[in-house]
Amino acid sequence: MQATVRNDKPVIVIKLGGSMIERLTEEFYESFHGLLKHYHCLIVHGGGPAITALLGRMDIEGEFHEGLRKTTKETLEVVEMVLGGKVNAQITSALARQDILPVGLKGCDASLLTASYVNQEDLGFVGQVEEVKTDLLYNCMQAGYLPVVAPLGKTQNGQTVNINADLAAAAIAKAMQAEKLLFVTDVPGIISEDEVIKETSPEEIESLISGGCIYGGMIPKVQSAMAALSEHLQEVMIVSGEDALIQGDRMKGTKIRATVKERAE
């Protein structure tokens, strides 16, 4: 059974990539009015480019392990400032301008996201979600608020850790038994032969990648979306942050289902 807030509306989780934050349009934020008629919404956001920019201004050199950024104690302070401060406030302010009631939350607040280390020796203060305090999110939504979550977690011994936003969004969607998880990108969906594919499956996507129809920066976008699919989450979507999320009663973008019974026309 899909999660509801007091059996009223299903839940959707919307993941905003850090590279998209500055490019989200007023039309995108305004479309939440339409979404909220049908769903309880919850946003999880990244902030990679803003973190990199502030580290540069502070002359803090990044450390990497096998291409992944190591989160040192010094870096973690910057991550907390950017995710929990600048970026979260930017999103909540944009929603408030549309007369929507957002509430900014850090995953490390009130043990919202309990986490463990991914690999403390190699990656430092990087975590993975072990538990989500769903009651806190349900209570916010029941009261009419739209939670905006910064992907920071707290370990059992009280240490704050940085969590990959894609993985945090997938973990929250699973815990909330969300009906959908939306990945907001700079494209209107998966495009093949100049047309947006309405619905597809991981098998079809792999075929499109091997055939060269999906290429370049689109590959990691669809791979992140596919990785979120599970027995608990049967549908994810790739949508645009430069346009409205909904048209009439229908969401715009590409649905990726674990299995596709019939390709939408």
Residues making up the binding site for substrate:
47-48, 69, 162
Amino acid at 94: A
Which two three-digit tokens encode residue 35?
């979404």
Residue 172 to residue 164: CA distance in whole angstroms? 12
Q: Is 91 helix (H, G, I), strand (E, B) or coil?
A: helix
Which two three-digit tokens encode residue 3?
């999660």
* Residues 123, 124, 125, 131, CA torsion sign: positive
Contacts of 254 (CB under 8 A, 6+ apart): 189, 190, 196, 197, 198, 199, 200, 237, 238, 239
**Residues annotated in a binding site:** 47-48, 69, 162
